[in-house]
Amino acid sequence: MQLMSEKSTAGGGLRERKKRATRAALTEAAIRLAAEHGAEKVTVEAISAAAGVSVRTFFNYFDTRDDVFVLTDAEAGARIRRALLDAPPALTPLEALQGALAAELAEAEHHHDLWRLHAEVLRATPHLLVRLLGAHAADETELAEAIAARIRPDTAPEPPAPPEAASPTEATAPTEATAPAASDEDRRKELDLYPRLLAAVAVTALRISVEHWCARPDERAVRDVFRETFALLAAGLPAPPGPPTTHHSHRSKEMS
């Protein structure tokens, strides 16, 4: 799950910061309304009014009402991939990926309530959860491509250009010379096992870290849960120490 954080709205020029802030306001309004009334009963008009913008503005950011619950931070994946590729070469792929993901969690503790509400909305609305899983699968493919590019820059498949790279005309009216975009399935087939596995494991580790923290926010900071999760991965997921056994001691007392 990805929610707009203070960090994600801080970068860029004034115009970009305003756009990110508006997107974040729409997302928060939608989640809070859905948590109170149920996602199916929340309209675009209600979301827009709660965020203090027009319906037209809503559709500048989201194509459909459901998108506001699923595409909460469309730029997060791009930030993670760029941080991964820019990480120091001495870091292992797992270490570089941990650092890239950790940067996205830096402000998460300030948004614990919203993360929890978003999870509740998704659990209560199965079709939104299915859509989110599909979006995560696409993000995972792009992340695997970035991992492959970091490991073997000369042989890795080239990730697709971000949506901003193409104009609306170019995006909606391909010419005969334009090759059709490869599907997610075709792109995954081009990847080696390691990048796909690392991307899948890392995405799952991030999700479990956040879910564990959301359930027990008073125990530890989310960054500490995240660090422990990746430390366990780096160590090969060793079995945790079990409680001391007393079976043999009881038998010894009985035999004496």
pLDDT at 62: 96
**CA–CA separation, 238 vs 215, rounded Å?**
24
Q: What is the largest CA-CA distance in the chain?
A: 90
Superfamily of domain 14-163+186-234 in CATH is Tetracycline Repressor, domain 2 (1.10.357.10)
**CA–CA separation, 182 vs 12, rounded Å?**
31
Q: Tokens 């919203």 identify what position?
A: 114
pLDDT one-digit tens code per residue, 62-111: 999 999 999 877 688 898 999 999 999 999 999 999 999 998 887 666 67
What are the residue ranges in the chain where pLDDT is below 50? 1, 5-6, 8-9, 162-175, 249
Domain range list for the chain: 14-163+186-234
**CA–CA separation, 240 vs 199, rounded Å?**
24
Tell me the CA distances in angstroms from 49 to 17, 35, 44, 62, 138, one per residue in order: 21, 17, 8, 15, 31
**CA–CA separation, 143 vs 210, rounded Å?**
19
